[in-house]
Structure 1
Amino acid sequence: MKYTKLVLFFLILPLLAFTSLHKYYISVTQIEFVPEQQSVQIISRLFLDDFENVLKQRYDEKITLDEAFEIPNTNSFINKYLADKLQITINGKPATFQFIGKKYDLDVMKCYLEIKNVKTIESIQVSNKILFDMFPDQQNIIKTKINSKQKSFIQTVQNANALLNFNEN
């Protein structure tokens, strides 16, 4: 009888251990330099519910990230938030990106940004604090493709800045 209870306990224990699911807070930002266009093209992928919550908290409770129910100022709120939380410095000089637009893809929003008139990149510094003000466990993955070199890194609340050099041979 004791043996049966013990076996039953060890069979049920794993089921109980995973009853509270942990949600992961993550975004992915791709940064690509296109020399022919003298342009840095950026795509940020954010979970819709997380991004909607931060926009509601900061700007307007009526914001809904759904094409059918968007309020007129949605794009300006997205642009304002991204401009506040994503800073990029190219060759030691702050760069200003332009919000091109967005696309809904199931439960993810893709935000398209561009930095124009970039002739060369020797170094790029990225500070991505998107959603850090809402989720202390947020992690932002940055993937770069610059001068035919690919580099990636993860930014956290404790480490939200990265400087990459591309002038080494």
Structure 2
Amino acid sequence: MIRLLLMCLFIASSTHDIHFTKTTLDYNEETKTLQVVMNVFTDDLELAIESVHDGLELEIGAENQHELTDSLVGAYVLDHLMFKNNYRNIEFDFIGFEYDYDICYIYLESQPFTPILCGSNTIGVRMFYELFEDQENVCDLNCPFWDTEFIFTKHFGSLHRECDY
């Protein structure tokens, strides 16, 4: 149901009153990495990055797109995603992003790690809270130690789970 709602919302026009992102994290048993795909509205991403860089105009997807766009997008998303397995920070690498009209698809991959199946796990997706009071970040987590879907808000920006079985 959430996926159908998200698909309908992403089809909405480029001017939108709803502020949300969709993040999917899948654990790859073969590479022992978390593979991340984030779907974000392009104008929200531009606004977030431009708001901390006076005079910067990214113009994602335009012929005159700023030459530092890739590194600025990477820095922003890496700063706003957090994942811990058994109290250990899992580091991510920015792979890149694709632009499709008003949506950006952002790709990240964690450094390889062997998950601790029982213990403490924390995840946080904190994108665009500095811009929008009503921002929601939908997260779909598919891991052997935690398989769930949830929505982060400005007042509930991360989720922590203890497992002791």
- State the TM-score, normalized to the length of structure 2: 0.81
Q: Give distance in 2, aligned partners of 1:61 and 1:54.
A: 11
Provide the residue aligned with 1:114 in structure 2.
109
Provide the residue aligned with 2:20 in structure 1.
26
Q: 3-state DSSP class of the match of 2:63?
A: helix
Provide the residue aligned with 1:45 in structure 2.
39
1:70 aligns with 2:68: no
Matches within 5 A, 1:62-101: 62-101=57-96
CA displacement at 1:136 relative to structure 2: 1.0
- Decide which moves more: 72-81 or 122-131: 122-131
Q: Which blocks of at least 5 consecutive residues in structure 1 are unaligned?
A: 1-20
Provide the residue aligned with 1:143 in structure 2.
140
Which consecutive segments of 4 or more residues in structure 1 shift more than 6 A? Answer: none
RMSD: 2.1
CA displacement at 1:120 relative to structure 2: 2.1
Q: Which blocks of at least 5 consecutive residues in structure 2 are unaligned?
A: 1-14
Count of aligned pairs between the two proteins: 148
- Partner residue of 1:125 out of 104, 122, 125: 122
Q: Give distance in 2, aligned partners of 1:79 and 1:144.
A: 21
Deviations 1:95-143 (A, max 9, x none): 1100000011231101100002112242531111100001111000010
Percentage of identical aligned residues: 22
Give the 3 Å change call, closer, same or farther, for CA 167–118 of structure 1 in structure 2: farther
Q: Which structure has the greater CA radius of gyration?
A: 1
Q: 3-state DSSP class of the match of 1:104?
A: strand
Q: 3-state DSSP class of the match of 2:115?
A: coil
- State the TM-score, normalized to the length of structure 1: 0.79
